[in-house]
Structure 1
Amino acid sequence: MPDDLLARARSAYAAAPPVGDPAYPRYCDALARQLVARWPQLVAANAVDVAAAERAGMSPTLVDRLRLTDAHLDRMVALTAQTRRELAAVVEVEVPVRGAARAVHRVPRPLGVVMMVYEARPTVTVDGALLPVAVGNAVLLRGGKENAATNAALELAAHAALAEAGLPAGLVTVLDDPQRRLLRALLKRPDQVDVLIPRGSPALVDYCRTSAIPLIASGGGVNHLYVDRYADLDLAARVTLDSKVPEPAGCTSVETVLVHRAVAEAYLEALARQVKEQDTALTVRLDPRIVGPAGLRVEPLAPHDLGREFLGPVIAVMPVDDPDAALDHIRRHGSGHTEGVLTGDAAVAEVFRRRVDAAMVVVNGSLRLHDGPTLGLGAEIAIATGRLHVRGPVTLADLVTYSYVTDAAGALRG
């Protein structure tokens, strides 16, 4: 079974046209049309997955991540259009070489066969079937078993779009692998799988790290906000809620707020006001040495809450003595994904800019700003936390490698 899948993917990759071929923008357009045309079937398949998840007792937050809505369709169609536009930038370019007697060109090439492993988010299946394929890669998509019916319907849409664009069907394969046997077999094939992109929990990323396949790691968002004694506390409260409530299980969600001890109680009062004003649900795991204000749902902070992803509308709040203590906590418990500081002191902001080792550092703003389109960097397939090849938003330009070409015209080095 793995050999058949791999042979199909590698054959499709070899048969695909080079980066920049007109078939790829055609595919973007065709995928948008297929998603719209098949939307009733996609919604019906998704309803099967959602009902099964609810029967299994999945938390409401995770069920919401699984559910497709018309708003998701709008965003997926918009993503196909954005990807089509951004393909124009992934092109062969002449490299300026000082004093060279001949031109040197940098030519984009696909990474090869890319395997994505992710959890119960069906929109990620569309990300995976779109961005890597639009620059000539073949993809193996292994989503969570919770969205199996939805993913199967999405695979049909992708195959129809590939046929319409004149591209090989094997460029997109959804793996039906509820027991992980197939995944385990594929992780042992660095000779056939060129790049592995896990998106999800730290446990999932660590599991994928056992493979010898080159990895673009994405996930493990144990993220912090440090609220300095010189912060605008009303802004800090709004930033906290925006960093948690809209996507409580997202990889850019805040998990722990480190607040300067001198303003801890005032910050919590501002947070309680914002919770009431926005009429939102939030649970605060609070250091027992601090009394939470009325109107704020408070639970005691336990040691195991530090360095934890809550995957719901929950945050930890912990007082610290100074910025150095906050930095030390982030070094010990952070995952290197997204960290933030709220302060009116430029010197404190600069310390965080220089000393926090994360894919993104946000000064006086929401952690959810760490997003390729929001930052103006382009459509993204993941946010990478590793150190090689790419860190931060993984855009189209990161889903290719490059060859250098020069027309030597008979030249020798001598």
Structure 2
Amino acid sequence: MVDKMIGAARAATVAAPPLGNEAYERFCTGLARRLTTEWPRICAANDVDVGRAREAGLPAVLVDRLRLTDDHLADLVTLTSTVAGEMRELTRRPPGTPIGDWGVRHRVPRPLGVVLMIFEARPTVTVEGALLNAAAGNAVILRGGKEIARTNAALGAAVTAALADAGLPAGLVTVLDDPSRSLLRDLLRRPDAIDVLIPRGSPSLIDYCHRASTIPVLASGGGVNHLYVHRSAELAQAVAIALDSKLPAPAGCTSLEIALVDRPVADEFVAALLDGARQDGRPLTIRVGEGLRQPETTGQWRVEALAEHDLGREFLDSTVGVVAVDSPDEAVEFIQRHGSGHSEAIAATDPVVTGEFTDRVDAATIVINGSLRLNDGPTLELGSEIAISTSRLHARGPITLAALVNYCWVIEANGRLREAS
């Protein structure tokens, strides 16, 4: 099964037309049409997955990540149009660059090859991974979590139909209908045939991929993110940043886990954060570190003690920790020890402090006086993304269409020979 699947993917990379061919734009528009037509059937499959996840006792915040709505359809249809435009821009051939008086060099985009993308809960990732990779000329094998197996099968059928409509080889996109670990292990053992591995999910998934495979990895996941609140910060702004970094998407990869607050303003920050959550109306649990007061709370807003095992992990719910620190150095050291290199933020008005923080913190994206959720390809006007990479090679930060290609040099040499040295 694995040999046949990989063989079809590699054959598709050979049979696919060059980047910039109109077939890729036809695929984008055709996918929008197929998703719209098939949406009732896709949602019916999704209802089954969501119901079974709820019966299995999956936490409510994770069940919500599985669910598809009409808003998701609208977003995906918009994405197909956006990617088509980005593809035209990416493949536009500018004039070459002169080389001395003898030639011209051209930097030409080329597909990465065969991509294996592994992800967990969100079914929209199936469409995003198929769309961006196929538009970049890559063959992609998509392996989602077992919780969304039926949804993925329905989405995969729509993608396959859109490829056929566009005249592109079917092997450009394979949506696995077998989420077993044994099949995944077999795929991870094929660096001879798979060019890039993109795992999107928990730190344990990323770690497993690194240990089990020698395929080059663009890792995406492990969002153990922090906000450092310096004593010079505007407190109301810092609270707003913390709430926006947590409440809209508590289980998202850019979600805030721990706020590190200068000790003189830490108790005031906790009280203001609690008040802000009450005004917002969404539930919030604040876990405070040693030495901080615990205000009395009722209902869906709670203040509890922070435990040692809370450090360096994703809560994956509407829980945020608050730890008092005595200096920017202590905050940076805490992040170096517990952060995952994904998204970090600082709230401060002292430019010296923000400068030292951005110089010393090692993360894919560092935000000054803003929400962690700004770490997003479209929001940063970088383009559509399929993930946020914490890898150090090739792409770091949002993995956009431009990160799903590589480049070769085409040289117009006009008979030029290399002189002997």
- If the length of structure 2 is used for normalisation, what is the TM-score? 0.96
- Where 1:246 maps in the other structure, the secondary structure is coil
| 1:219 alignment partner in structure 2 | 221
8 A contact 2:261–2:323 mirrored in 1: yes
- Where 1:221 maps in the other structure, the secondary structure is coil
* Distance in 2 of aligned mates of 1:249 and 1:178: 22
Aligned length: 414
Matching of residue 203 in structure 1 with residue 204 in structure 2: yes
8 A contact 1:20–1:135 mirrored in 2: no
How far did residue 298 of structure 1 move? 1.2
How far did residue 97 of structure 1 move? 4.4
* Distance in 2 of aligned mates of 1:354 and 1:2: 45
- Where 2:103 maps in the other structure, the secondary structure is coil
* Distance in 1 of aligned mates of 2:136 and 2:280: 43
Matching of residue 102 in structure 1 with residue 103 in structure 2: yes
8 A contact 1:162–1:168 mirrored in 2: yes
Q: Give the alignment of 1:277-288 within 5 angstroms.
A: 277-288=279-290
| 2:195 alignment partner in structure 1 | 194
8 A contact 1:177–1:183 mirrored in 2: no
How far did residue 99 of structure 1 move? 2.2
| 2:380 alignment partner in structure 1 | 375
| 1:275 alignment partner in structure 2 | 277
Identity over the aligned pairs, expressed in percent?
57
Q: Give the alignment of 1:270-349 within 5 angstroms.
A: 270-295=272-297, 296-349=301-354
The C-alpha deviation readout for 1:69-91, integer Å capped at 9, x for no partner, is 11111111111111011112212
Letter aligned with residue 252 of structure 1: T
* Distance in 2 of aligned mates of 1:127 and 1:261: 43
- Where 2:278 maps in the other structure, the secondary structure is helix
| 1:257 alignment partner in structure 2 | 259
How far did residue 331 of structure 1 move? 0.4
How far did residue 261 of structure 1 move? 0.4
* Distance in 2 of aligned mates of 1:135 and 1:341: 35
8 A contact 1:94–1:106 mirrored in 2: no
| 1:134 alignment partner in structure 2 | 135
* Distance in 1 of aligned mates of 2:303 and 2:273: 12
| 2:366 alignment partner in structure 1 | 361
How far did residue 100 of structure 1 move? 4.5
* Distance in 1 of aligned mates of 2:342 and 2:224: 7
How far did residue 178 of structure 1 move? 3.0
Q: Give the alignment of 1:112-127 within 5 angstroms.
A: 112-127=113-128
* Distance in 2 of aligned mates of 1:113 and 1:40: 31
Letter aligned with residue 20 of structure 1: G
How far did residue 233 of structure 1 move? 1.1
Letter aligned with residue 303 of structure 1: E
The C-alpha deviation readout for 1:122-180, integer Å capped at 9, x for no partner, is 00001111001001110000000000000000000001110111101111101123321
How far did residue 227 of structure 1 move? 0.7
The C-alpha deviation readout for 1:25-83, integer Å capped at 9, x for no partner, is 11110101111111100100000100010010000000000000111111111111110
* Distance in 2 of aligned mates of 1:89 and 1:326: 41
The C-alpha deviation readout for 1:380-400, integer Å capped at 9, x for no partner, is 111111111010011111101
- Where 1:243 maps in the other structure, the secondary structure is helix
How far did residue 364 of structure 1 move? 0.5
- Where 2:379 maps in the other structure, the secondary structure is helix
How far did residue 410 of structure 1 move? 2.1
- Where 1:38 maps in the other structure, the secondary structure is helix
* Distance in 2 of aligned mates of 1:35 and 1:196: 26
The C-alpha deviation readout for 1:193-247, integer Å capped at 9, x for no partner, is 0100000001000111121101101101000000111111111111111101111
How far did residue 293 of structure 1 move? 2.5
| 1:19 alignment partner in structure 2 | 19
How far did residue 93 of structure 1 move? 3.8
* Distance in 2 of aligned mates of 1:64 and 1:395: 25
* Distance in 2 of aligned mates of 1:282 and 1:219: 23
Q: Which runs of 5+ in 2 are unaligned?
A: none
The C-alpha deviation readout for 1:235-286, integer Å capped at 9, x for no partner, is 1111111101111111100101101100011111211221111111011111
| 2:179 alignment partner in structure 1 | 178
| 1:235 alignment partner in structure 2 | 237
Letter aligned with residue 153 of structure 2: A
How far did residue 291 of structure 1 move? 1.4
- Where 1:372 maps in the other structure, the secondary structure is coil
Letter aligned with residue 359 of structure 1: A
8 A contact 1:223–1:252 mirrored in 2: yes
* Distance in 1 of aligned mates of 2:7 and 2:180: 22
Root mean square deviation of aligned Cα: 1.1
8 A contact 1:94–1:103 mirrored in 2: no
- Where 2:303 maps in the other structure, the secondary structure is strand
Runs (4+) of structure 1 exceeding 6 A deviation are none
How far did residue 289 of structure 1 move? 2.1
8 A contact 1:284–1:298 mirrored in 2: yes
| 2:85 alignment partner in structure 1 | 85
| 2:76 alignment partner in structure 1 | 76
8 A contact 1:94–1:104 mirrored in 2: no
- If the length of structure 1 is used for normalisation, what is the TM-score? 0.98
- Where 2:248 maps in the other structure, the secondary structure is coil
Letter aligned with residue 406 of structure 2: T
Distance change in 2, residues 1:97/1:303 (3 Å): farther
| 1:246 alignment partner in structure 2 | 248
169-178 or 29-38: bigger deviation: 169-178
